Amino acid sequence: MKSEVIDREDVRTIKLSGKITIGAGDVTMRELIHAAIDDGKKKILIDLGDVKAVDSSGIGELVAAYTTVAKNGGRLALVHLSPKINDILQVTQLVTVFDIFDDEASALASFS
Amino acid sequence: MPDTKPVNAAISITSRFENIELAERVVHDLMVSAGIGEEEIAPVIRALWEGIANAIRHGNGGDPDRRVEIEATVSPALVRVTITDQGAGFDVAAVPDPTAAENLLKPSGRGIFIMRQLMDRVEFSNLSGGGTVLLLERRLGTTQEREHHEV
Ligand SMILES: Nc1ncnc2c1ncn2[C@@H]1O[C@H](COP(=O)(O)OP(=O)(O)O)[C@@H](O)[C@H]1O
Ligand SMILES: [Mg+2]
């Protein structure tokens, strides 16, 4: 997994790419989320548009990111889900947990 | 017409997550050689990934000296994969449902559930001398009939 961080006003977008799978950690989601919290960010958008594969442990990392942000009084949303990632969140019933957006503009608008 | 004789392959890997890709390639290429299309290969590879990750992590406890054996057989109507580790085994019936409200926010526990979505048969057996065998099967040539969501 690789990542790119973009701050717009008070929203931090974390753009992930590559594989979010067990043992595929050049960067970890944990580190990215902790860095965001340390930087005082409470609005976090994870862009999954360039993610090629996610396994159950990658899904687990997303859930952990969500709960960590919520515990720190913030909000985490997801944007640009591939049909595969969308299906995996459907069957695991996590669509009921995550705030999911099709495009960046509506995701950003939801934070303001 | 694909050949009707089953084809098979086996690979033995040490317990490192990067080795999962080696097994992936073997099973992928075996299915291609049997004339199976990518859309039917993909779910098998995803289940294989979860099964081997568990064998390495939970079965072999990440001990790189312990091995995971993978065997695959592909016939026109069925793909069967077995994944054998050198762990202590476990009671699959005791694994909680990850979609239950109290488990929804847990950071783990979704691998076996996902394998069951992808495959027609997911069975664990604990070997008497130690080790766990995971049997995965998926019928082939039925993509059109499948209506449930595939992860
Ligand atoms: N090969 C195995 N050997 C021993 N225990 C296993 C094995 N595979 C799975 N398990 C047990 O089943 C549980 C659920 O596995 P899984 O659904 O893949 O979730 P996770 O891997 O995230 O814990 C594991 O936590 C582990 O206790
Ligand atoms: Mg697992």
The predicted pLDDT at position A41 comes to 97
Per-residue pLDDT of chain B (151 residues; tens, 9 = 90+): 555 789 999 999 999 999 999 999 999 999 999 999 999 999 999 999 999 999 999 999 999 999 999 999 999 999 999 999 999 999 999 999 999 999 999 999 999 999 999 999 999 999 999 999 999 999 998 765 665 555 5
Chain A hits for B110, Cβ within 8 Å: 56, 59-60, 92
Residue ranges of A 27-66 with Cβ closer than 8 A to chain B: 55-57, 59-61, 63-64, 66
Mutate one of A19, A91, A94 to test the B interface: name it (highest B CB count within 10 A).
A91
The rounded distance, in Å, linking the Cα atoms of A92 and B100 is 10
The verdict on residue B14 lying in a domain is yes
The predicted pLDDT at position A27 comes to 72
- Provide the number of structural domains found in chain B: 1
Q: Which residues line ligand 1 (CB under 6 A)?
A: A 56; B 50, 54-55, 58-59, 85, 87, 90, 95, 108-113, 132
Q: Which domains does chain A have, with CATH numbers?
A: 2-110 (3.30.750.24)
The predicted pLDDT at position A40 comes to 97
Distances (CA, A) of B77 to A85, B2, B73, B80, B113: 28, 11, 11, 10, 24
The predicted pLDDT at position A99 comes to 97
Q: Phi, psi (5° rounding) for residue B109?
A: 95, 20
Query: pLDDT per residue over A19-75, tens digit each?
Result: 999 987 667 899 999 999 999 999 999 999 999 999 999 999 999 999 999 999 999
A57–B46 CB contact, under 8 Å:
no
State the complex-level ipTM. 0.93
Q: For residue A82, what are its two tokens? A: 């591939």
Q: DSSP for B95-149, please give it.
A: S--TTSGGGTT-SS--HHHHHHHH-SEEEEEE-TTS-EEEEEEEESS-TTT--S-
The verdict on residue B1 lying in a domain is no
CATH number at residue B24: 3.30.565.10
